Amino acid sequence: MSPLHPYPDLSAVSWRLRRLALALGVAATLAACAAPGQSSARKDPLERIRNVVVIYAENHSFDNIYGLFPGANGIANATEQQKLQLDHDGTPLKELVTFGPDGKPDASFAVMPNAPFRIDAPPVSRAPTQIVPSPTHLFYNNQEQINGGSNNHFVAMSAVGGWVMGHYDGSQFRMWQWARDYTLADNFFMGAFGGSYLNHQYLVCACAPRFDGAPDYMRAQLDSDGRLQKRAGSPSAHVGAVQLVNAGQVTPDGYSINTTQPPYQPSGIPTAANGARELANPAGFARHGGKPDLPLPPQTGKTIGDTLSAKGVDWAWYAGGYQRALRDGVQDPAAARKVIYAKGEDSPNFQPHHQPFNYFANYAPGTAARAQHLRDGDDFVQAIASGQLPAVSFYKPAGVNTQHPSYTDMVTGDRHIADLLDRLKASPQWNNMLVIVTYDENGGYWDHAAPPTGPGWADRWGPGTRIPALLIGPSVKKGHVDSTAYDTGSILKLITRRFGLEPLPGVREKVGDLTGALE
C-alpha cells in the first residue's frame, strides 16, 4: 500500500478524483452552513409559501393571554415601574378598583392590590366562559396609558379602572397548544394606537383615514401637551372613571382615529328613507346629544388589496356573517336590525367597523372588485375544504367569535379559531400555507412591553401596545418563540415581499417581515 494511495485498489487518477469529490463535499457543507446572504444557493424561505391566511381576532394584549407562556417575555419580566399603576397626578394607586357603566366603583369586583392579577382565579374568579367588561381602547387614551413605555397609566385612562390589569392562564385555551407547536411572536405590537377601527384600517393600508369635513363635535379636544382634556373635577382612579371633554372620532387636523361608520352597507348607520339602500345615510343618525354621527367619506388611498390586484394576485376578505349583515343593512331603515350590532340569540353580532375594505371607493357597491374580493365567512370554510383559497386570505370572525370583551367570551372564539386551524391543516393547500393568527389591538388591557420608538420604528399612528401573534404552517419553526420586533404592518411587509408588490408607504421601514419565524 503506497502512503500516497491509502486505498490499495485505487489508481493515482482515481484517488485525485476522490480528493476532488471530498473537497467539493466540504465546500457544499460550508456553503449550507454559511450565514444568511453568504450563499447564492440559499433560497428565500417565502418561496415555499403559496397561500397566506390572516385570521384577525379581537382586543387582548399579549400579557392578557400569553403572559404566563413558558419561554416568552411575560409578566414575570415586568419591572415594578411597569406593574405599579399611577393616578392622574402621578402618585401610585393604593389599590385597584374597577368601575361599572356609571363610572362608579363596581361592587361585584374585589378590590385588589396595585399589581397584575388573574381574572380566572380567586378572588376575582371569572371563568373564561363568562363575558367580562371591555376596557377603554381609544387612540389618545392608549398613548397616555403607554406613558413613554412605562405602561403605568392604563388604570387611570380607562373607564373600567383596575380591570385592565387582569390576565388569564392561557394554558387552558386550545390556541395555547398551537402556539407551543409552532411559533409565538412575543414582540409583536398593534400597528396603531387605540381601537379596532383604526387597526383594521392599518391592516389593509398602513394609514389613517381622512375625514376633512368632520364637524367640531366629532373632533378630539386636546390640551397644550397634545393630551386629551380632562373635565374639571375628574376623579381620582381610586373613586371613579376618568372624565374627558371629548375623546373624539377625528383628530383636530382631520384624521379618523376612533370608530366611525362605513359609507356603504353593512353600516351602523341605516340607509336614508328615500336613499339608495346600499348606502349609509350621509346625514348620519342622531347621537352626540342629538347631533348626528356621520359616516366616513369613501376613502381613495391605496390598500394591500389594490397592490395585490395590480400584480394579478388573487385575494379575498372573508367576513363571518357578511351576507346576513348585508341583507340586514339594505332593509327599510325603520325596521329593527337583527344582525348588525345585534346580540340576539341567533345573531352573529356583525361589527361593520371591522370591515376595512367597505370604507374604500374601489370596493363600493356595484363594483366588480367588491363582488370578487369581499366574501362571506362560509365561503372561507368552503374554500378551505375544496383547496381553493386564493393566494392571500383575510378572515374576520363574526362578533360572537372574536373574543371581544363585553359581547362575547374567551372560550367561544378560542374554539372557533382552533377549529379553523384544524380545517386549514387538513386542507389540500396546507403544505404550502402560512397562517398568521393575531389580534387587532389590546382591547385596553395592560401589557408590560414598551413599544418600539424612533425613526423607522414608530410614527404618529403607532405602534401601540403589544398583542399576541401566532405563525402556523409546515414552513414555520416548531416550538419557537420569535422575539423579532414586529407590528401589524409586518403582515403587509411579508405579503408585499412574497408576491413582489408595490410597497405601501405607511409600512414602517425597520419593522420585521415575519420571516424570522420561518425555517
- Domain ranges within the chain, ordered by starting residue: 45-92+168-206+298-517
Instruction: Return the percent helix, strand and coil in the chain, to nearest 5.
Output: 30, 15, 55
Using alpha carbons, select from 109, 112, 119, 114 the residue that is nearest to residue 168: 119
Q: What is the dihedral of CA 245, 248, 252, 257, to 10 degrees?
A: 150
Reported as a single tens digit per residue, the pLDDT across 418-471 is 999 999 999 999 999 999 999 999 999 999 999 999 999 999 999 999 999 999
Q: What is the pLDDT of residue 379?
A: 98
Q: What is the pLDDT of residue 511?
A: 97
The CA distance from 181 to 338, in Å, is 39
pLDDT band at 10 (very low <50, low <70, confident <90, very high): very low
Reported as a single tens digit per residue, the pLDDT across 248-261 is 999 999 999 999 99
What integer is the mean pLDDT of 300-315? 98
Judge whether residue 175 has pLDDT over 80.
yes
Least confident of 36-50, 187-201, 221-235: 36-50
Judge whether residue 25 has pLDDT over 50.
no
Q: What is the dihedral of CA 272, 276, 281, 283, to 10 degrees?
A: -80
Contact 153, 145 (CB under 8 A): yes
Q: How far apart are the first and last CA of the chain?
A: 47
The three-class DSSP label of residue 223 is: coil
pLDDT band at 42 (very low <50, low <70, confident <90, very high): low
Share of the chain above pLDDT 90, in %: 89
Q: What is the dihedral of CA 426, 428, 430, 432, to 10 degrees?
A: 170
The CA distance from 376 to 322, in Å, is 5
Grid cell of 397 as nine digits:
370572525
What integer is the mean pLDDT of 185-214? 98
Using alpha carbons, select from 95, 91, 265, 72 the residue that is nearest to residue 170: 72
Grid cell of 478 as nine digits:
416548531
What integer is the mean pLDDT of 280-305? 91
List the CATH code of the domain at 45-92+168-206+298-517.
3.40.720
What integer is the mean pLDDT of 108-116? 95
What integer is the mean pLDDT of 296-300? 98
Contact 170, 69 (CB under 8 A): yes
Q: What is the DSSP letter of 256?
A: B
Residue with the bigger pLDDT between 463 and 38: it is 463
Reported as a single tens digit per residue, the pLDDT across 454-463 is 999 999 999 9
Judge whether residue 3 has pLDDT over 80.
no
pTM (2 decimals)? 0.91
Judge whether residue 38 has pLDDT over 70.
no
The CA distance from 128 to 441, in Å, is 19
DSSP assignment of 430-444: GGGEEEEEEES--TT
- Kindly give the pairing relationship between strand 480-482 and strand 183-185: parallel
pLDDT band at 288 (very low <50, low <70, confident <90, very high): low
Q: What is the pLDDT of residue 489?
A: 98
What integer is the mean pLDDT of 393-420? 97
For residue 33, the one-letter residue type is C
What integer is the mean pLDDT of 146-174? 97
What integer is the mean pLDDT of 139-149? 97
The three-class DSSP label of residue 498 is: helix
**Across the chain, what does the average pLDDT equal?**
92
C-alpha torsion sign, points 498, 500, 504, 509:
positive
Structural element, H or E, at residue 394: strand 392-396
The three-class DSSP label of residue 21 is: helix
Judge whether residue 228 has pLDDT over 70.
yes
What integer is the mean pLDDT of 378-396? 98
Q: What is the pLDDT of residue 39?
A: 44
Judge whether residue 37 has pLDDT over 50.
no
Phi, psi of 493 (to 5 degrees): -65, -40
What integer is the mean pLDDT of 166-192? 98
Q: What is the pLDDT of residue 345?
A: 86
Q: What is the pLDDT of residue 233?
A: 86
Question: What SS3 string covers 137-171?
Answer: CCHHHHHHHHHHHCCCCCCCCCCCEHHHHEECCHH
